[in-house]
Amino acid sequence: MATIADIKSALENVKYPGFAKSIVDFGFVKDVQVEGSACIITLEITSSAPEVEENLRKDIHSSLVGVVENITLNIKKPEAPSQQSNSVSGKNIAPQIKNFVMVSSGKGGVGKSTTTVNLAVAAAMQGKRVGILDADIYGPNIPRMMGINGKEVEVIGNKARPFKAYGVDVMSMGSLMEEGQALIWRGAMIMKAIQQLLRDILWEDLDILFIDMPPGTGDAQLTLAQSVPVTCGINVTTPQHVALDDSRRSLDMFKKLHIPIGGIIENMSGFICPKCNEESDIFGMGTCNELAEQYNTQVLGHLPIEPAIRQGGDNGKPIVYFQPESQTAKRYMQSAQKLIAYIDDITGTVSNASIQPTTPPGVSACSSAGASSSSHNGGGCGCH
């Protein structure tokens, strides 16, 4: 006859969907009772998604074959959230996601996607349920960096299922179009694509969705902010003053869209020699500290240049996952800890009600009709 210890030992082989840790490691197994050849197992999980429960039931029964005959599973889970959209609450087209983090930069080439990948994986390694939405329409690099380049998207009904890599749910424009294809889109197409990536992807109940945005401040950023309540924004920059000038524009955008600023990542901050591990200041270091003070935010981390970062990005092996003892990985983990603490402090206080469009449906905020209809309430696009 199986004992409670035998059953718990078998359950250690059941991985929580999307993660490398078991349901026992996560503490989801709340009670095990044995009565002869039967057992009653009580789980308490954090996802309301039906596919998570379905996978767990199947995996638990498989793991207990030969251990116990009759299994009763009681799975407790939160209720699925309902959509709210009105003048008070604002708009949220992906209510199953607790927090949205907009990763932005004033210009391209500063390591925004690399930062997104490693922060997301670091947050998942710290026990958070994490996703990445690659909304960089013009340069979607996340598939290569997460090792899912060339994989086909699974379509269920009229929606797409995210990929899973390193404990993170991932979806990218790069996975939805032919490799190397150029997108020459006007603003309306970009706005529609952003909304579809949020609404038509089977996102699970996530603690954090990291959204890798196109560089700059434009239609994509405004559409995202109006579609979901962005918990906070992160600005990625490099130490050069030319990059900092553009970062100010990105940070100013957060303020105009009423998005709390979660912090600044100073990328390419110093160089770590792969032979001697000595760190050299070649591009400058710490120049974003003053900028963080000006915008009343924190520096999440100073991330150095290290060959292993580039190699990991090219090969789909994030440094924070594959080289956790490296100096860079440790700094990413510390940055993720700071960000998680900030999110915990402001969760539930964010709203996008004040930036909702005020023009009638089908009328551009920039048209004469839109201007006249919104002249009494401060602007058609809602960002003023």
Task: Please check whether residue 326 is in contact with residue 113, taking contact to mean a CB–CB distance below 8 angstroms.
Answer: no
Give the C-alpha distances (Å, rounded to integers) separating 239 from 116, 172, 268, 327: 18, 28, 7, 19
Burial 239-277 (b: 16+ CB within 10 A, else e): beeebbebbeebbebbeebbbbbbbbbbbbbbbbeeeee
- Ramachandran quadrant class, 268 (left: phi over 0; alpha: psi -120 to 50; beta: rest): left
- Burial category of 16 from C-beta neighbours within 10 Å (exposed 0-12, middle 13-18, buried 19 and up): buried
The answer to whether 111 is a known ligand-binding residue is: yes
The answer to whether 106 is a known ligand-binding residue is: yes
Give the C-alpha distances (Å, rounded to integers) separating 52 from 13, 62, 76, 158: 16, 15, 12, 19
- Residue 377: DSSP 8-state: T
Can you tell me the distance from the alpha carbon of 131 to that of 121, in angstroms, rounded to the nearest whole number? 9
Helix axes 4-11, 50-63, angle to 10 degrees: 120
The answer to whether 113 is a known ligand-binding residue is: yes
> Whole-angstrom distance between the N-terminal and C-terminal Cα of the chain?
69
Task: Please check whether residue 72 is in contact with residue 38, taking contact to mean a CB–CB distance below 8 angstroms.
Answer: yes
The answer to whether 65 is a known ligand-binding residue is: no
Locate 12 and state its tokens. 């250690």
The answer to whether 108 is a known ligand-binding residue is: yes
The answer to whether 110 is a known ligand-binding residue is: yes
Map tokens 């500063």 to a residue. Answer: 110
Can you tell me the distance from the alpha carbon of 242 to that of 168, in angstroms, rounded to the nearest whole number? 33
Can you tell me the distance from the alpha carbon of 378 to that of 41, in angstroms, rounded to the nearest whole number? 57
The answer to whether 187 is a known ligand-binding residue is: no
User: Which residues belong to the annotated binding site for ATP?
Assistant: 106-113
User: Which residues belong to the annotated binding site?
Assistant: 106-113
